[in-house]
Amino acid sequence: MTSPLVIDARNISKSYGKGSSTFHALKDVTLQVAPGESVAIVGKSGSGKSTLMHIIALLDTPDSGSLSFNGRDALALPPKKASELRNKEFGFVFQQFFLTPETSVMDNVTLPLKIAGVSPRARRERALAVLRQFELEDKAASNANDLSGGQKQRVVISRALINEPTVIFADEPTGNLDSATGAIVEDTLFQLNRDRGITLVIVTHDEDLAARCDRQVFIRDGVVVPSGAGVAAA
Amino acid sequence: MKATDLVGSAARNTLRSKLRTTLTVLALFIGAFTLTLTTAVGAGVTDYVTKQVASLGADDVFIVTRTAGDTTEGPRAYDPKTSSASSATGGPALPGAGQSDPMTEADLEKLAGISGIFRVDPVQAVAVDFVQYNGGGQFELSVNPTSSITRADLLAGAQLSESSGTRELVLPADYVDALGFADAQDAVGAVVPLGITDVLGARHQVDGTVVGISQESLLPSGGGANPAMVSALAEAQSAGIDTGPARYPLAVAYFDPALSSAQVSDLQESVAAAGFGVQTIQDQLGVIKTVIDGIIGVLNAFAIVALVAAAFGIVNTLLMSVQERTREIGLMKAMGMRAGKIFALFSLEAAFIGFLGSLIGVAAAVLAGSALNAALSAGPLSSLPGLNILLFEPGAIMGIMLLIMAIAFISGTLPASRAARKNPIDSLRYE
Ligand SMILES: Nc1ncnc2c1ncn2[C@@H]1O[C@H](COP(=O)(O)OP(=O)(O)OP(=O)(O)O)[C@@H](O)[C@H]1O
Ligand SMILES: [Mg+2]
């Protein structure tokens, strides 16, 4: 048998609200991701992409279905273990930057390590190494607010990488950027995927970005559909 | 997250929104400032009074008077053996011992008969006209006839001797210059005449030796005299005439100094039950202390009100902060920060605000208070050496800081628990 799936989500359903106003955001969704794979979750706005990503990243719980991470039942994990897993194994890039204002780039980037309880010295070294990679070394002391959009997104990716995750979850990583900076960010993500074997789960409605991934999963109204025909937003 | 990182992050987060933190800190500052000053005044005055009491010593005496008004209905029938003339111009007395009926020999016997009382010394009232030195100016002097049972706060010389046959005097410090001595030490050993007018109007002089110079204090200043001096003065005053039944404004009753304070109050009750007004020296000072404690209590209440208002300020500030930082909280949770740590982070922010407010408030109070102390001691309170109206005790200051930090911390728990309960997804979706 080959190495187990990084993510194995089966028959995931999730609904919001109660009674007649119940809204089924995900219906019986199954998604499997192998180690080192890059997967795009594509669909129109409101189709349930972010909801699915939140569930497989253990940020949210499904109403029904099963989920395992590296062969372990992820839904049965006690909250402490789930937090630890997110802290150690996952890197997050969200739809918005989520940089803490009035706080230095250094502090923003080292947040996951701080939460993990890494010593300040080791945090700094690690952060400088990552920032160097993204040519942001000289911005380490700057206020995160004072960066350009592209720089901010690179800071966000630095933050996602600092704990050397096995999976990076990226929700519209280029949604906030112009096409040139967007391209740089894309290149960076795929380079990490290629060079370090980091698994990528990218939520997007951008067909070009989706096409660069190994595999595309199309979602329409909370259901996985076989092909992209008429699914991705124009 | 490590504890040091939590504290560091909390401190940094508080400093991120400077204006808001400043305003919240200001409210705490006022509370801390007031509380520190009022506590210091309380401590300063209490310390002073306590020292005065300690300097009085005399743990084994009661000051006994006849309780006024312990009469039967209507006017009392005159009895030359026991009755004495009431007069509102009784002799000098200890503080708190108000004017009352004089005591008679019969009273003294009754008092001495109470079990537990070793000895009763009547206090003779003497009205000295003046004191003089070396033919210089004459100055009024009131002589405290009970001074030999207490210990004076001495600048120079020695305490009065109760048993000595020599006529001894203790003069207050401000007589040193007036009488023409070089300094307090110079006055010790000098023989000074006291002028006194007898009941027939004739003037007499009685010499006494100055054995000590006392510091001025809250307690009645005035000179002290030992029993030998007092009786010499009393003799001169009476002009050798039997002026009827002996009358004393008060008497000093001695008991076993080894008695416990409970036993002392039992004894005190039995003396009071026998129809006497009875006070220990501590009782007399207790009145002063009660008044001071009352004033300090009112001032402290104001400080507490300020702190309660400040507590609501903290709740408000942090609730706003939690709301504003919803996404930051969501992000931290997404990255694996546990709810408990989020709670700790926000509570610590509150405690840090408390720390800032109390530190600045206490520091400002100590600075302002020390300046005030110096000014008061040099000016209005210069006549009471040894009185520092504001006494800053490290323990009390620590206590105030801890109290304020605790208030801040408790105020922070509501916003902090709200932050800790936030669902990471809702927080991430929050606009
Ligand atoms: N807390 C919630 N309560 C009610 N409905 C919700 C909630 N969260 C999400 N939804 C609904 O679930 C559906 C899926 O939302 P989701 O955020 O997954 O969409 P998406 O595919 O990521 O869209 P976009 O591309 O615009 O980000 C939407 O219709 C949304 O309104
Ligand atoms: Mg989305």
Mean pLDDT of the residues in chain B: 81
Query: Is the model's pLDDT at A86 over the cut of 80?
Result: yes
Residue with tokens 């006690």: A78
Mean per-residue pLDDT, B176-198 = 88
Choose among B392, B309, B302: nearest CA to B26: B309
Mean pLDDT value across residues B332-340? 93
- Give the Cα separation of A158 and A130 in Å (integer): 6
Q: Average pLDDT, stretch B27-53?
A: 84
Instruction: For residues B25 and B160, state if they share a domain.
Output: no
Q: At what angle do helices A105-116 and A149-161 cross, to 10 degrees?
A: 20
pLDDT of residue B285: 67
- With beta carbons less than 8 A apart as the criterion, state whether A23 and A15 touch: yes
Determine the Cα–Cα distance for residues B326 and A26; give it in Å rounded to an integer.
Answer: 26
Q: What is the DSSP letter of A172?
A: S
Question: Per-domain residue ranges for chain A?
Answer: 7-225
With a cut of 90, say whether residue B266 has pLDDT above it.
no
Regarding whether B187 and B134 lie in a shared domain, the answer is yes
Kindly state the percentage of chain B with pLDDT values over 70. Answer: 84
In CATH, which of 3.40.50.720, 3.40.50.300, 3.30.559.30, 3.40.47.10 is domain A7-225? 3.40.50.300
- Number of residues in chain B: 431
Buried b (16+ CB within 10 A) or exposed e, B395-408: ebbeebbebbbebb
Closest CA to B202 of B231, B246, B238: B238
Distance A204 CA to ligand 2 centre (A): 8
Residue B218 confidence (pLDDT): 60
Residue B70: its pLDDT value, please?
A: 44
- Whether the pTM exceeds 0.90: the reply is no
Does A50 sit in the ligand 1 pocket, CB within 6 Å?
Answer: yes
How many angstroms separate the CA atoms of B126 and B356, rounded?
Answer: 61
Q: Is A231 in the pocket of ligand 1 (CB under 6 A)?
A: no
Q: Which residue of A92, A102, A120 is in closest CB contact with B334?
A: A92
Q: How far is the CA of A171 from the centre of ligand 1 (A)?
A: 13
Helices (H), B57-113: 105-112
CATH number for B80: 3.30.70
| pLDDT higher than threshold 60 for residue B57 | no
Instruction: List Cα–Cα distances, A48 to A44, A97, A223, in angstroms.
Output: 8, 20, 8
B202 and B146 in one domain?
yes
Confidence category of residue A190, pLDDT binned at 50, 70, 90: very high
User: Do B190 and B306 share a structural domain?
Assistant: no
Q: B34 and B99: one domain?
A: no
Q: How many Cα atoms sit within 13 Å of B223 on the Cβ side?
A: 29
Residues with Cβ within 8 Å of B270's Cβ and at least 6 positions away in sequence, in order, are: B114, B115, B116
Residues of B in contact with A102 (CB under 8 A): 16-17
Residues B301, B271, single domain; the answer is no
User: In this model, does residue A12 exceed pLDDT 80?
Assistant: yes
Domain assignment of residue B259, given as a range: 60-122+249-279
Q: Which band of pLDDT confidence, cut at 50, 70 and 90, is reported for residue B75?
A: low
Residue B96's pLDDT band (cuts 50, 70, 90): very low
Most A-contacting residue of B15, B345, B428, B430 (CB-CB within 10 A), to test interface: B428
pLDDT above 90 for A105: yes
A56-82 residue pLDDT tens: 999 999 999 999 999 999 999 999 999
- Count of domains for chain B: 3
Rounding to the nearest 10 degrees, give the CA dihedral for residues B320, B324, B326, B327.
Answer: -170
β-pair partners for A25: none
CA of A152 relative to ligand 1 center, distance in Å: 25
B318 vs B52: which has the higher pLDDT: B318
Same domain, yes or no, for B162 and B234?
Answer: yes
Segment A121-138 shows an average pLDDT of 92
Question: Do B305 and B410 fall within a single domain?
Answer: yes
The answer, yes or no, to whether any atom of ligand 1 lies below 6 A from the CB of A233, is no
| Mean pLDDT calculated for residue range A16-32 | 91
SS3 B104: coil
User: Is a pLDDT exceeding 60 seen at residue A140?
Assistant: yes
Residue A119 reports pLDDT greater than 90? yes
Q: Give the range among A223-232, B162-171, B269-278 with minimum mean pLDDT.
A: A223-232
Q: Kindly state whether residues B379 and B415 are assigned to the same domain.
A: yes
Together in a domain, B195 and B220: yes
**Full DSSP string of B215-264:** PP-SS--SEEE-HHHHHHHHHHHHTT---SS--BSEEEEEE-TT--HHHH
pLDDT at A183 over 60: yes
Residues B299 and B418 in one domain: yes
